[in-house]
Chains A and B, each alone.
Chain A
Amino acid sequence: MRGLLPILTVLAAIVAIWYAAVAPMNIRGALDVAERAGAEVMPTESLARFERPIWRLMVDNPQYIALGYSLDRPRLPTPVQVGSELWKTTGEMALNGRAFSKRSLIYHGWITLHSTLWGFALGTVLGMAGAIAIVYSRVVDMSLMPWAIISQTVPIVALAPMIIVLSSQVGIEGRTVPKAIISAYLCYFPVLVGMVKGLRSPGAAQLDLLQTYSASGLQAFLKLRLPASMPYLFTSLKIGIAAALVGTIVGELPTGAISGLGARILIGDQFGTPLAIWAALFAAAILAGVLVTLLDLTQRATLKRMGMQA
């Protein structure tokens, strides 16, 4: 637990900076609210206030700085505000038995998770198949590998709206499929690269040994290459699932999706409710953390069973 203290210290520092930043970020909003409530604020005209620098406003109106910490529509909400919004849209709704209502982040998180897992499965299968083909066929290695690298330098977000339009034109209902395609596109590459590395990791001596046993190609694959690639595979899977989640959220952002965490961010932006955006962002972060942690635990358990300590 010695490693925990520095982490907590850094976290505390981040929260402290966050709290300190709330005051200058929200002072304009706080003064507007105070003025509307009939209070006397220092440059009285809003246009004059707009032109004043923030620190001047804070010096002139110190009594309203505190108001900035409890605005309804803050430019920068406090961690507590974000936390309570998150709780209101998840835990509290679950306690009221409305966990899957359209307003709850559990429902939207589930939609996002659903596409992410499909994209992850698709990307992993594609990546593993590609890796096996690359390791066993020189043509595929030479022709596919450069394009796999190039495919990752193409910003997928440019393609995302097209994938959504295309799949709806082809007659695919709903958004699960296009979102899954986008996340598979982001997710397959780390799996492919890691798997190629892993499948090639057995040394010549080990491969030769199997040949002296007159092992077939399939046996060599199943008993040597595949097990040897497991540590590499799991490391890439952890990167892959995080990438898949990014892909799903990107797929939900651009073109008028209505459900999913990305759509909550979009809607929060359109309706000017920053708290909803922040809550959805943190929900996405928590989801990413949970997914990576789950894979990490699986990795530890699997490698332990296989006798390769992670």
Chain B
Amino acid sequence: MSWLVFALAFWIGAWALNTYLANSRWRGSLFVRVLVPMLFGVTLIVLWEGIVRGLGVSPVILPAPSTVAQTFAASTDILWEDFRQTVLKGALSGFAIGVLAAFVTAILIDRSAFLTQGLLPIGNFVAALPIVGIAPILVSWFGFDWQSKAAVVVVMVFFPVLVNTVQGLRETDAMQRDLMRTYAATYFDTLLKLRLPAALPFVFNGLKIATTLALIGAIVAEYFGSPTRGMGFRISTGVGSLSIDLVWAEIAVAAMAGTAFYGLVAWAEKRVTFWHPSHRRS
């Protein structure tokens, strides 16, 4: 019972502190802008811990965060092996291939207005489809190891990146292109110096969508067959054998990998497209 009371008290206290901070005169500072969401996250974990302990929830249903943290610390070698199999081999290689293929395809079809008109609506439609369903087919084509996972990721990230890149390449207006013409710029000059930079905000938009899709694809594909390692494999077998704490540790790894991957792309975007209005200091 005391755990429940403590969790509730912590919640109220953190909420009050956050309200104070958000309305204080330091609200614009980086420290407060990081502290407020951190406090919110910590509160959620404390609430979770308090409810699990206070109500005596069985660890088979929902383990407390502290139990998960212990399991995490105790099985780092398994987690690292799974991380390598799923994220480094499956998701990242698929992401690289898919993004590169989409990028090259976008530049190629961009040369023909006819193809662009035909492919944009189809690409937009396909990007909205539940492509994850293709996982079992690709697993049966490419075998159980990471190649099939990478293939699923390639298919999943291809269309969002393609559509965004094609759209981005059309971003320049006639005035800018005419200016390049008066400089006697060739097609490649215009592409490299004007149109690709102008397309970058769109490309990064597609890349950010693709980061999440890449992890989803790599994990789902493992539900349909994998060697005896990998995050999806561990999760699906862990649920069956009631080692729920290990499953949550895997989920934590997946969450951190996803956030880090996304953060990396967002960071690169900030560095590369610093000139874009959305990144300028206001």
Contacts and interface: CB of A to CB of B under 8 A. Distances in A.
A277 interface: yes
B227 interface: no
A289 B40 contact: no
B136 A268 contact: yes
B15 to A, nearest CB: 8
Given A153-B261, A169-B61, A158 B219 contact: yes
- Interface core residue of A170, A238, A242, A253 (most chain B CB under 10 Å): A253
B73 interface: no
Nearest to B112: A6
Interface string B112-124: 0011111101100
B19 A158 contact: no
B201 interface: no
A154 B33 CA distance: 22
Given A9-B114, A143-B36, A280-B133, A153 B61 contact: no
Nearest to A150: B259
B244 to A, nearest CB: 8
A142 B37 contact: yes
A153 B105 CA distance: 26
Interface string B87-123: 0000000000000000000000000001111110110
Contacts of A9: 114, 118
Interface string B6-40: 00000000010011011100010000110011011
Contacts of B125: 289
Given A139-B19, A157-B216, A242 B128 contact: yes
A116 to B, nearest CB: 10
Nearest to B87: A155
Contacts of A11: 118, 122
Interface residues on B, range: 35 or more
Interface in A255-310: 255, 261-262, 265-266, 268-269, 274, 277-278, 280-281, 284-285, 288-289, 292
Contacts, number: 168
B236 A161 contact: yes
Interface in B213-246: 215-216, 219-220, 223-224, 231-232, 235-236, 239, 244
Given A158-B219, A166-B62, A253 B132 contact: yes
A157 B219 contact: yes
Contacts of B274: none
B141 interface: yes
Contact of A269 (B19, B40, B219, B224): B224
A161 B215 CA distance: 16
A206 interface: no
Contacts of A155: 212, 215-216, 219, 254-255, 258
Contact of B130 (A14, A157, A249, A277): A249
A211 interface: no
A75 interface: yes
Chain A: interface secondary structure?
Answer: helix
Contacts of B23: 138-139
A284 B132 CA distance: 11
B174 interface: no
A245 interface: yes
A154 B116 CA distance: 33
A204 interface: no
B141 A7 contact: no
A152 to B, nearest CB: 6
A153 B259 contact: yes
A144 to B, nearest CB: 7
Contacts of A278: 137
B66 interface: no
A79 B139 CA distance: 20
Contacts of B251: 154, 158-159, 162
Nearest to A2: B117
Contacts of A213: none
B247 interface: yes
A277 B254 contact: no
Contacts of B37: 142-147
A5 B27 CA distance: 55
A111 interface: no
B137 A285 contact: no
B41 interface: yes
A72 B93 CA distance: 34
A246 interface: yes
Nearest to B15: A139
Interface of A: 3, 5-11, 14, 75, 138-139, 141-147, 149-150, 152-159, 161-162, 165-166, 169-170, 238-239, 242, 245-246, 249-250, 253-255, 261-262, 265-266, 268-269, 274, 277-278, 280-281, 284-285, 288-289, 292
17 contacts: A6-B114, A6-B119, A7-B118, A9-B114, A75-B140, A139-B19, A142-B33, A144-B40, A153-B212, A153-B261, A153-B262, A155-B258, A156-B216, A158-B231, A266-B136, A269-B136, A281-B133
Interface of B: 15, 18-19, 21-23, 27, 32-33, 36-37, 39-41, 60-62, 114-119, 121-122, 125, 128-130, 132-137, 139-141, 211-212, 215-216, 219-220, 223-224, 231-232, 235-236, 239, 244, 247-248, 250-251, 254-255, 258-259, 261-262
Given A154-B259, A156-B216, A254-B220, 5 more contacts: A142-B32, A144-B40, A153-B258, A153-B259, A245-B130
